[in-house]
Amino acid sequence: MDAIILQILNGLDKGSAYALIALGLTLIFGTLGVVNFAHGALFMIGAFCAVTVQRILNLSVTTIDESQTDFLGNPLKVQTPYIENWFGPEIGAAISDWSVPIAIIFSIPIMLLIGFIMERGLIKHFYRRPHADQILVTFGLAIVLQEIIKYFYGANPIPTPAPQAFAGSIDLGVMFGFDPNAIIYPYWRLIYFVFAALIIGGVFAFLQFTTFGMVVRAGMADRETVGLLGINIDRRFTIMFGIA
C-alpha cells in the first residue's frame, strides 16, 4: 500500500507540471483560437531563464588564502560568491540558498516580455488564418527556439540540484498510519505541487471573478461585439498570451 501511495504522489508531482503546460495551451487556444505548437519551447525557455539567473546568483570569485594550505603545501584557493561580497556573508548565503526560487521569480517578467513580443510580432497575424497555417508557423518557431537554446547551452541535460531552501523530506508514512520511514517524500516536490495548484486556481479566479477576465471571456464568445463597445480586446489578448 505504501508503494501505491508513493506512486500516486509521484503522479501528482509530474501531473502538476503537465497541468501547468496544459493551462497555457488552453488559455491560448481558448482566448485567441490559436494552435500554438511553440508552447513547449516557451516552457523550455522559461526553465533555461531560471537556470541562467541561478548561475548568475552563484557566480564566485577565486582568491588565494596564504594562511591555509592543501596537502601539497600550496596556498589554498577559496571561492567566495559575489553576492557575499556585495551583501555580506549572512544575506549572501541566504540568497544562495534561495537562488532557485529567486531565479523562478525573476524569470516570470522575462517570459511575460517574450510572450508579448511573440504575440505582437507573429501570432496576431494568424488569428484569422486556418489552423494548418498556425500549426506550421508555431512548429517552425519551436524548432528555431530549440536550436537557439542548443547553440548556447548544448544538447546535454543540465543537472540542477534541489533548492537548498527546501532541502529535507517529510515522513508521510506516519501521517497515513504506516511504519516510520515507509513513505519519505522531499519537501520541494510537495511545494512544487502546491505552487502549481495555486497558480491554476489563481488563473481560474482571475478569469472568472475579475472585470478583466469577464471581458476576455466575452471576447472569446464574440470578439467583434466587444470591439464595438470600445474595448481594446487585442491588448487584453496580448496580456493573456503573456500570462500563458
- Which position has the higher pLDDT, 76 or 125? 125
Mean pLDDT, residues 117-136: 82
pLDDT bin (cut points 50, 70, 90) of residue 175 is low
Tell me the sheet residues that pair with 61: 80
pLDDT at 30: 74
Evaluate if residue 173 carries a pLDDT over 70: no
Cα–Cα dist 10/84, whole Å: 36
Cα–Cα dist 48/158, whole Å: 9
pLDDT at 179: 67
pLDDT at 234: 75
pLDDT at 156: 84
The strand ranges marked E within 135-213 are 169-171, 184-186
Predicted model pTM: 0.74
26-31: long-range pairs with CB below 8 Å, 24+: 27/203, 27/240, 27/241, 27/243, 27/244, 28/240, 28/241, 28/244, 30/220, 31/216, 31/219, 31/220, 31/237, 31/240, 31/241
Evaluate if residue 61 carries a pLDDT over 70: yes
Using one digit for the tens of pLDDT, what is the confidence trace for 44-55?
Answer: 888 888 888 888
Compute the Cα dihedral for 57, 62, 68, 69 and give only its sign. positive
Mean pLDDT, residues 220-241: 76
pLDDT at 33: 76
Local structure of 220: helix, strand or coil: helix
Q: What percent of the chain has pLDDT over 90?
A: 0
Cα–Cα dist 48/104, whole Å: 10
pLDDT at 1: 61
Cα–Cα dist 88/77, whole Å: 20
CB-count exposure of residue 71 (10 Å: 0-12, 13-18, 19+): exposed
Lowest mean pLDDT among 48-57, 152-161, 171-180: 171-180
